[in-house]
Amino acid sequence: MRTCVGCKERVPAVDLLRVVVGRTGDSDSSEFVIVPDVHRRLPGRGAWLHPVSECLVNAERRRAFGRALRVQGVVDVTAVEAFIGNGAEAHTEEPVAPNTEQ
């Protein structure tokens, strides 16, 4: 069982999308990018989210990604928005992990 960071509902992990965080740009940057982890294999701390735009908007509004992933600074969710917008079911290939050097 996992908890969606958007709606706070506890459901089986198979119903949720795992997302992980990576740092963008140089190591001094405080901007982070959230990417979908379709196969649940990317390294790092993860957060769980229903693959629907409602939960994504709620998580952004509540600033839940920063707390769940333990990051401070700007969080870019563009990759997750694109994934959800394209239909999570149709997305079969794993995204390329961003630069995760810290």
Please report the pLDDT score of residue 65 as a whole number: 95
Please report the pLDDT score of residue 28 as a whole number: 60
Please report the pLDDT score of residue 29 as a whole number: 61
Please report the pLDDT score of residue 81 as a whole number: 95
Residue 58 CA neighbour count, 13 Å, CB half = 14
Angle between helices 78-85 and 53-62 (to 10 degrees): 160
Nearest Cα neighbor of 99 from 21, 18, 17 is 21
Ranges of the chain with pLDDT below 70: 23-30, 88-102
Please report the pLDDT score of residue 37 as a whole number: 94
Please tell me the total number of residues recorded for the chain in this structure.
Answer: 102
Residue 3 CA neighbour count, 13 Å, CB half = 7
